[in-house]
Each structure stands twice: as C-alpha cells, then as structure tokens.
Amino acid sequence: MNPKNAQKIVFEDEEAKPGVQRGVWHGGPFTVVQYKYVPGAVFPSHSHESSQLTIVLKGTIEFSVGKDKLTVQAGETIYLPSNQPHGAKVPKEGEPVDSINIFYPKREEHP
C-alpha cells in the first residue's frame, strides 16, 4: 500500500510521568498518543495550543478541567479546547487506564 494513501500507526512506549507510559505518532495534521496509566498515576495540570480529543479505551480516569472535575470511563470521550488547563488522575483503587489522545494541529513539543 502506498504510504500516501494510508499509514499504520505503531506506538513505541516511553515513560511520560511516573506510572504513565505513552507512545507518540505524528502524521498529517495530527499527533496521536496512546497513554497507559497505572492506578494512582497523576498527570499534572498543563495546557497546550492544540485541541485534544481523549478516548478512554479501558478503566476510569478523572480529569481536572479548570476548576471542574470530570470522570471519564471506558467507551467515553472528552474534548479539551485549545489552551484549556487540564490534568488527570487515576483512582488508586481503580484499574489501569488505556486511552488514545488526538491532538490537532499536531504538537511540535512532546505531549
């Protein structure tokens, strides 16, 4: 298959934060990141110019978005607009979390 027509995404895991693994792919106008969290993992509050769409594939994760808290479970999706401060944590008594995060436009710095 011609790579201009389609491309298989392959993620190579690296540690993003303690208890958080990620695999990053940049292509076309997107950055796609596969995250894997262990119970109790925390991703500190941050913001970025790219809009973010997070699809939770497994587990339950709590997002802090500004002053609000939003629990997102497997099969659910959260949209975060550009420059919106947000962070995430997985309950200590919860199960591991797997998610796919799509950033548009692609992120120049590492997510």
Per residue in 1-58, pLDDT (tens digit) is: 566 788 888 899 999 999 999 999 998 899 999 999 999 999 999 999 999 999 999 9
- Structural domains in the chain (count): 1
Least Cα distance to 11 among 30, 24, 28 occurs for: 24
| pLDDT, tens digit (0-9, with 9 covering 90-100), for 42-56 | 999 999 999 999 999
Containing structural domain, residue 68: 14-104
8 falls within a domain = no
Query: Rounded to whole angstroms, what are the CA distances from 91 to 14, 44, 64, 97, 111?
Result: 22, 14, 13, 10, 22
- CA dist., res. 61 & res. 42, Å (int): 10
19 falls within a domain = yes
- CA dist., res. 63 & res. 41, Å (int): 12
